[in-house]
Amino acid sequence: MQPAFGDWLGANLAARAALTTALEESGGDIRAAFAPRRLFGDYLQEQVAGVLTTGPGSGPGLASVRGEVVRLLPEPRRGVLLGDGRAIEADMVVLATGNMAPQTPECPDPWLYDSRFFVPDPWSADAFEALSPGDPVLLIGAGLTMVDIALKLAAAGGGPMLAISRRGLSPQVHVAGGSWAPFLEDALPASPRRLARLVRAQVEAARTQGVPWQRVFDAARPAVPAVWRAWTTPQKRQFLRHLRTRWDVHRHRMAPRIGAALDALIGGGRLEISAARVRSYRWATQDGADRVEVTLAKRGGGERRFSAAAVINCTGPRRDLGRLATPLLADLRERGLATPDVLGLGLETENGALLDAVRRPSDWLFALGTLTCPSWWEITAVPEINVQIDNLVGELAQAGVPRPSHRLLSPEDFLDLGAGI
């Protein structure tokens, strides 16, 4: 039995030493601490290493194969084909791809995408090789990706940064302490507008009792799958258009130390966050250096110009898989084995099984995590994904049993996630 991450942190002296600031922020509560991502990576590597099998005759277990899956094997065979030509036979295939690279944002001057000015994926190893200390940059997007990239560039001696988004909102800061009772489940079914009013009322009630508004959003978290499943497609579209950004900046928060670092960048004039959209790009030369001159349309009216050495795509992970040309996903679409959803959030699934072109659940193709957002909306954090994994393990253990006898994952399965982000 693998230890939970919190237990692993508690037993790992080196990890606890790296948690000093996080524990101070959480009042000593390790369950509420913002642990560095590096520690979670170390934890995962250690757990995986403990179950890996290598060499012939090593028995059942987890085998690691390095390669890119480009398509499924031709029917009636089941399994995958790698880019180097190797075929791996399998009774079942689970897509656990994690986050996709960012989607290229709409651009009025598409020449930019083929120039050295544009950074399509800020997480690629060579994303900032062309930048010099002091270079000004434009960041498209103002969410958590922008926060990470702005702090990274600042630490490397980067120049002035301008981050833009439709509303100019940035993530809020997490605050520990206090508690708030669940409240959303009792209000269902309800429209996005009604639930937004309810959340605001709960935030105000919490404020009068000295409870941080963060606890209200934490209390709402376990009910999110039930809310999403209860909405019609037009209601989901209404939420995505009008409320998604405000939900995201309050729900997916920054550690206090990250918020303080971001405030220091803004207060020191190194970073500006603005509600605006790109109107045009123009190649220009400034003081002997090549630049892209960006004309911005400000929210509420008016224009401004910004001269950048790079335009960095910080829009976050891609969700719309209907046009994505990744070989495996393209193969699944073309063969009618997977169906991108109409809202552009991922793939249609039922109890983790991919739905084909006529919406029949597969008995051997499954998905986890962000790919299944159309079913559950928020399925990006570890607790929610763990619920999925537990259910899928039970599903796989019943291989060969007629599907109607299987237990379906329901919104109620997410109700004991607890607090946190």
What is the DSSP track for 361-374?
A: EEEEEEE-GGGGHH
Mean pLDDT of 232-240: 97
- Per-residue model confidence (pLDDT) at position 23: 85
Beta bridge partners of 284: 291
Tracing tokens 């029917």 back to the chain, one arrives at 75
What's the pLDDT score for residue 264? Answer: 98
| DSSP one-letter code for 350 | E
For residues 8 and 279, the model is more confident at 279
Question: What mean pLDDT is predicted for residues 397-417?
Answer: 60
pLDDT at 404: 46
> Which DSSP string do the residues of 191-224 spell out, in sequence order?
-HHHHHHHHHHHHHHHHHTT--HHHHHHHHGGGH
Q: In sequence order, what are the residues at sequence separation of 6 or more whose Cβ sits closer than 8 angstroms to the Cβ of residue 25?
A: 33, 34, 174, 176, 255, 256, 257
Which of residues 420 and 245 earns the better pLDDT score?
Answer: 245
Please, which residues have CB within 8 angstroms of residue 133's CB and are 6 or more apart in sequence?
156, 157, 158, 159
Q: Indicate the pLDDT class of residue 346, thresholds 50, 70 and 90.
A: very high
Contact 222, 417 (CB under 8 A): yes
Instruction: Calculate mean pLDDT across residues 184-210.
Output: 96
Query: Distance between CA atoms of 352 and 361, rounded to whole angstroms?
Result: 9
Out of 124-128, 253-257, 391-395, least confident range? 391-395
- pLDDT score for 307: 96
CA distance 307 to 291: 6
Q: 72-76, 128-132, 309-313, 415-419: lowest mean pLDDT where?
A: 415-419
Regarding predicted confidence, which is higher, 385 or 153? Answer: 153
Q: What is the mean pLDDT of residues 66-82?
A: 95
Model pLDDT, residue 405 = 46
- How many angstroms from the chain centroid is the CA of residue 305? 31
* For residue 257, pLDDT beyond 60: yes
Give every strand in the sheet of 271-286, ordered side by side: 118-119, 310-313, 137-140, 161-165, 271-286, 289-298, 303-308
Cβ neighbours, 10 Å, residue 181: 8
Average the pLDDT over 249-270 and give the result. 96
Report whether pLDDT(401) > 80.
no
Residue 345 has a pLDDT of 94
The more confident residue out of 411 and 36 is 36
Average pLDDT, the chain: 90
Strands 271-286 and 289-298: antiparallel
Domains of the chain: 5-101+319-414 (3.50.50), 102-171+254-318 (3.50.50.60), 185-251 (no CATH)
pTM, whole model, 2 decimals? 0.89
Q: What percent of the chain has pLDDT over 90?
A: 66
Given this model, what pLDDT does residue 371 score?
94
In this structure, what token pair is assigned to residue 134? 């002091």
Q: Give dist(CA 398, CA 396) in Å, integer.
A: 5
Instruction: List the beta strands (DSSP E) in 203-316.
Output: 271-286, 289-298, 303-308, 310-313
Q: What is the per-residue pLDDT for 21? A: 87
State whether residue 29 is helix, strand or coil.
Answer: coil
Mean pLDDT of 151-162: 96
pLDDT at site 4:
84
Q: Which of 372, 377, 345, 369 is nearest to 361 (CA)?
A: 372
> 139 vs 6, which has greater pLDDT?
139
Please report the pLDDT score of residue 399 as a whole number. Answer: 62
* 77: Cβ contacts below 8 Å, ≥ 6 apart: 89
Check if the beta carbon of residue 81 is closer than 8 Å to that of residue 72. yes
Residue for token digits 């983790």?
A: 352
pLDDT at 218: 93
pLDDT band at 157 (very low <50, low <70, confident <90, very high): very high
282-291 contacts, C-beta under 8 A, 24 or more apart: 282/109, 283/115, 290/117
pLDDT in tens, 51-66: 888 765 566 778 889 9
Q: pLDDT at position 375, please? A: 93
The Cα diameter of the chain in Å comes to 71
For residue 171, what pLDDT is reported?
Answer: 96
Supply the pLDDT for residue 273.
Answer: 98
- Alpha-carbon radius of gyration of the chain: 23
Q: How confident is the model at residue 96 (pLDDT cuts 50, 70, 90)?
A: very high
The H or E element that residue 100 is part of is strand 100-102
